[in-house]
A and B are shown apart, each in its own frame.
Chain A
Amino acid sequence: VQLVESGGFVVQPGGSLRLSCAASGFTFNDYAMGWVRQSPGRGLEWVSLITRDGDTYYADSVKGRITISRDNSRHSVFLQMDSLRADDTALYYCAKDGSNGYFEDWGQGTLVSVSS
């Protein structure tokens, strides 16, 4: 299993970013995929999840500002982030669901920095 995130960047408050996660090594269509973030020096925070059927879930801290999607033909999952705030600054990990809600595989993360 390999998960490779991209799209992290430095962006001003109020700006937008689109994170991507390219997956390989497993049958992508069969698994839910999630995003988990980690602010500098802090713990892990679940952000969003999309089921294999396309149902989506969001943490309250990002609801209304973030949209998760997937493209099964490209074995990829995306995180569209709008109205970014300073407290969105974090390393964003893409993670493969272990078929029951835990995350059995993780990417190396992509860094989002929101700063003026």
Chain B
Amino acid sequence: EIVMTQSPATLSVSPGERATLSCRASQSVSSDLAWYQQKPGQAPRLLIYGAFIRATDVPVRFSGSRSGTEFTLTISGLQSDDFAVYYCQQYHNWWTFGQGTKVEI
């Protein structure tokens, strides 16, 4: 099983700042990596797939990148609506999620 490890568990950021979230795969997943946003009481929302492709209607301040088995979600100019929990997920070999990063004020 491919294990996805996200860091940090919690990220404290001020509105307008940049947030950088990390996700590491235990083995190669190529670029088969997605990012989701989940707000309290809501279902997850797809943000990024293919490591860096924004899903429909996702603002450009969300961007994804890859370096080997390390993946990064960057949120530029955090807005109040962005404070949430973010999960990465690999779909290269079956499907596994990371444990999540909470972005808080």
Contacts and interface: CB of A to CB of B under 8 A. Distances in A.
Interface of A: 34, 36, 43-46, 49, 57, 60, 93, 98, 100-109
A105 B43 CA distance: 9
B29 to A, nearest CB: 10
A41 B26 CA distance: 25
Q: Which range contains the number of B residues in contact with the other chain?
A: 20 to 34
B44 A101 contact: no
Which of B34, B87, B95 lies at the interface centre, i.e. has the most chain A CB atoms within 10 A of its CB?
Answer: B95
Which of B32, B34, B36, B43 lies at the interface centre, i.e. has the most chain A CB atoms within 10 A of its CB?
Answer: B43
A19 B66 CA distance: 37
A35 B67 CA distance: 29
A108 to B, nearest CB: 6
Overall SS of chain B's interface: loop
Contacts of B50: 100
A60 B87 CA distance: 21
B32 A101 contact: yes
Interface of B: 1, 32, 34, 36, 38, 43-46, 49-50, 55, 87, 89, 91-92, 94-100
A109 B96 contact: no
Contact of B46 (A45, A93, A104): A104
Contacts of B45: 106
Given A44-B44, A104-B49, A106-B45, A34 B95 contact: yes
Given A107-B43, A109-B43, A102 B97 contact: no
A101 to B, nearest CB: 3
B49 A98 contact: yes
A102 B92 CA distance: 10
